[in-house]
Amino acid sequence: MPEPRIGLAWSPLSEKTVIRAGFGMYNDLQDALGYRTDQNAPFNPVYSVGSATTPFQVSSLPIDPSAPPPTGAKLVPGGVQPDMKTPTLISWSLRVQQEVSPNTSLTVGYVGSHGYHELIGIDANEPFPVICPASPCPATYPNVPTLGALAGAPVPAGAFYVPTTTRANPTIANTWTWFSLGTSNYNALQVDVNRRFSHGLSLRGVYTWSKALDDGDSLNATAAPNAPGLVSNPFDLHADYGLATYDVRHIGVISAVYTLPFGKGQPLANSLEGWSNALAGC
C-alpha cells in the first residue's frame, strides 16, 4: 500500500551547515501466515499428551499416523488473529551536518521510530483471570497460585488468581496464535565523523547511543534466545513491555576506504580506456 515519505535538506546559515530531516511509514507484508497454521488438523495436527491416560512410551515410536491420538490427548492448534492488522512502522530523523575543515565533516542526529500492529505470540486458550470477591476466597473457588496461598495465608479480597484447570476452551490444550497487538519504540543519538585524506584514503567513525523497547519480538522462541515465544500474560500485554532483545545501548564503528591508484586520473595505468579502465579501478 502507498505510504508517505518526506525528506528535507536545508542550509539556513551557510553552505557548510546542512540540516536534514526525514519521515516515513513502512509496512510488513504478511505472506507467510501458513507457517503458523500448518499444525492444524487434519493435515499436520499436534497433540499434548501430558495428561493422557493411555501409556505413551518411546518404545512406541515410530507413531502410526493413521492411529487415533492417545486417550486424553488434546489438540495444540496454531493460528492467526482473524482480523489481523498490517504491521506498521513510523520512522523519523533529524540531523545536522557541519563542515569542520575542507576535508572533515561532523554529523549529529536523532533517529526514532514507533511500531504498532506488530505480531506477537499469544496462547489464545489461557484460563480467564478471576478476582477473589471476599477474604478469604470462597471454598468453591479453585486453588489460588499466589505466594500467600502457597504459604497457607488467606487471599485478600480483590486479589487476582487464575484457575489453572479451567481453560477458555477445555476441549483443546494451549494454542500458539499470532496477534497484531505488539508495539515498539526506538530512540537513538548518532554521531558521524568523516575525514578524507590524500591519495584516496578516507576514514569514518560512527557512534550510536540508543534504546529499544517492545512487548515481544521473538514469535517462535527461535529468533532470539533471550525472549519467550509467547507473552507472559495475554490479559496484560504491557506487563511484557521492556528492553527489546535487539537493544544495544552503545555501538561504535570505524571504517576505512582506500581508492586503488589504477586507471584514468590515477598515478598508475592512467592511459586505460573503457572496460579495462573500469576493471582496473575496481
- Look-up: residue for cell 519521515? 23
What was the pLDDT predicted at 187?
98
Mean pLDDT value across the chain:
80
When pLDDT is cut at 50, 70 and 90, the band that residue 151 belongs to is very low
Residue 51 predicted with pLDDT over 90: no
Which whole-number Å values give the CA distances from 256 to 107, 191, 193, 203, in the listed order? 17, 17, 12, 5
Is 79 exposed, middle or buried (CB count within 10 Å of its CB: 0-12, 13-18, 19+)?
middle
The three grid cell numbers given for residue 136, joined into one nine-digit string: 478469604
Mean pLDDT across 3-28: 93
3-state secondary structure of 279: helix
CA-to-CA distance for 236 and 217, rounded, in angstroms?
16
Whether the CB-CB separation of 180 and 84 falls below 8 Å is answered with yes
pLDDT, tens only, 227-264: 777 888 888 888 889 999 889 999 999 999 988 777 66
pLDDT, tens only, 19-39: 999 999 999 888 778 777 777
The three grid cell numbers given for residue 15, joined into one nine-digit string: 553552505
Mean pLDDT across 101-111: 96
List of residues 6+ apart from 86 with CB closer than 8 A? 1, 27, 28, 30, 117, 180
DSSP for residue 85: P
DSSP string, 119-185: EEEE-TTPPPPEE--SSSPPTTSPP--SHHHHTTPPPPTT-EE--TT--SSTTS---EEEEEEEEEE
Half-sphere exposure of 231 (CA within 13 A, CB side): 28
Q: What is the pTM of this model?
A: 0.76
- Look-up: residue for cell 484460563? 127
